[in-house]
Amino acid sequence: MTVQIGDRIPSATLTRATDDGPKPVSTDDIFAGKTVALFAVPGAFTPTCSVRHLPGFKDHRADLAAKGVDTVACVSVNDAFVMGAWADSQGIGKDDIVMLGDGNGDFTRQLGLTLDAKGFGMGERSQRYSMIVTDGVVTQLNIEQPGEFKVSSAEHLLAQL
């Protein structure tokens, strides 16, 4: 079943690249007591994700904060090393956007937001989406149709706040 507005984010462990290597991060810690703008991409370094999706959230980080967002986080079915390298290549500072690896896709499966990208040689990935999570509860949810980039953008999410 796909996550819906009003649902609680499932407890899961994601990974984050640090100077000391990958560090496990609990979704409970990420979302508890905060307003989080979470967006997901099918893959780090892929064209739309690198040219439009991540840069949009980087460019609008301050605008999101001005509307009450405490944390902006990006998740992908990639490992923490890839997410860290992607952040570095995009000039994303450690305090700008929290880059989260869902290497095995467990969190993505719990949300019901998987994407079968085997036809592209990418295996099981995440659908492209954005959401606002307030104290662990989904308050906005924007899931893209396959091949589109409209409703998951930073601009669209800003308009919802």
Q: Which residues are catalytic?
A: 49
The structure tokens listed for 110 are 């719990």
Q: For the chain, how far is it from start to end, CA to CA, in angstroms? A: 26
The structure tokens listed for 83 are 């997410």
